[in-house]
């Protein structure tokens, strides 16, 4: 009887350790995925900037013609692209910060919650296991720097 209790206790400890190991692994994987999304977004922005800058006319003949025609040389596209890139970078950074918070929270799953940020407005979508978790996810998002509004389309999916 004593040996079977010790074996049961040992098995319980091993099982708890395995559970902890695998759940922590999922959280690290979620954070890594969020970092990869940010890196991918940064690469796309870099390509967009390169395309927009190459579209600008920097040839001396074009500058001379514009100067003669208008009295000044203005390249507004570069400013517009710079502002759009700054916005896109801020959006990606905000989304990644929220995904990291979700990944670290034991009640929420970054794998089942999608985060989209546009101009400081965060939209959360996906599924959670409880109505309380919708509020928790929204609170985590709202407490993130750069967020001015949170919209949730999260649905409660009861676990079987």
Entry pTM: 0.53
Question: What pLDDT score was predicted for residue 55?
Answer: 52
Tell me how far apart the alpha carbons of residues 110 and 112 are, in angstroms, rounded to a whole number: 6
- The residue segments making up the domain with residue 103 are 27-156
How large is the average pLDDT for residues 6-34? 66
15 part of a folded domain: no
How large is the average pLDDT for residues 21-45? 67
11 part of a folded domain: no
119 part of a folded domain: yes
**Bridge partners of 118?**
121
> Quick check: 132 pLDDT over 60?
yes
Which residue stretches of the chain are H helix?
2-55, 60-70, 76-104, 131-142
17 part of a folded domain: no
2 part of a folded domain: no
Cα distances from 9 to residues 12, 21, 36, in angstroms, run: 5, 18, 41
Tell me how far apart the alpha carbons of residues 74 and 72 are, in angstroms, rounded to a whole number: 6
Tell me how far apart the alpha carbons of residues 122 and 119 are, in angstroms, rounded to a whole number: 8
45 part of a folded domain: yes
50 part of a folded domain: yes
* Number of domains the chain contains: 1
> Quick check: 78 pLDDT over 60?
no
Question: What pLDDT score was predicted for residue 42?
Answer: 65
What would the two tokens of residue 19 be?
């559970």
53 part of a folded domain: yes
């Amino acid at each position: 009887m004593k040996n079977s209790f010790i074996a049961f206790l040992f098995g319980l400890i091993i099982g708890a350790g395995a559970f902890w190991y695998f759940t922590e692994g999922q959280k690290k994987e979620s954070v890594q995925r969020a970092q990869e999304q940010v890196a991918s977004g940064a690469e796309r922005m870099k390509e967009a900037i390169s395309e927009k800058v190459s579209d600008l006319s920097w040839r001396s003949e074009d500058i001379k013609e514009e100067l003669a025609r208008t009295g000044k040389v203005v390249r507004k596209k570069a400013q517009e692209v710079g502002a759009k890139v700054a916005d896109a970078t801020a959006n990606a950074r905000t989304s990644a910060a929220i995904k990291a918070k979700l990944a670290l929270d034991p009640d929420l799953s970054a794998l089942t919650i999608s985060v989209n940020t546009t101009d400081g407005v965060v939209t959360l979508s996906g599924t959670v296991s409880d109505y309380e978790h919708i509020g928790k996810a929204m609170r985590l998002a709202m407490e993130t720097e750069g967020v001015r509004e949170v919209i949730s389309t999260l649905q409660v999916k009861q676990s079987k």
